[in-house]
Amino acid sequence: IKRSFFYQGLVIGGGGIIFGLVLGFLGLFLLGNFNIIDLPADVYGSSKLPLELSTIDLVLIVVGAVFIVAISSYYPAKKATEVNVLQTLRNE
């Protein structure tokens, strides 16, 4: 049961990470190629929004997200093994 809950959480979390990366890159593409956000050039020195995503930033974001997903999947899986299924079904 614990392994099943853990893997299910990892799959759902992994899907969320991939979806978030796709949306993030889509946002970077849209903001970089289209003038969606105009900045006052006299205040900021440029009218374009500066966008920069380094490889180390991307790696740290993905590693952090995977760590959070793993912790968030492990805790409910651990709690699920502590529940007495027969007792819970009798009380329902």
pLDDT, one tens digit per residue, over 59-69 is 999 999 999 99
Q: Which residue has the higher pLDDT, 89 or 56?
A: 56
The whole-number average pLDDT for the span 26-31 is 92
Nearest CA-CA partner of 77 in 15, 11, 31:
11
pLDDT band at 22; cut points 50, 70, 90: very high
pLDDT tens string 35-60: 888 878 888 787 787 888 899 999 99
Mean pLDDT of the chain: 89
Residue with tokens 């009798």: 90
The whole-number average pLDDT for the span 3-28 is 95
Sequence-distant (6+) residues with CB within 8 A of 53 are: 28
Say if residues 21 and 62 touch (Cβ distance below 8 Å): yes
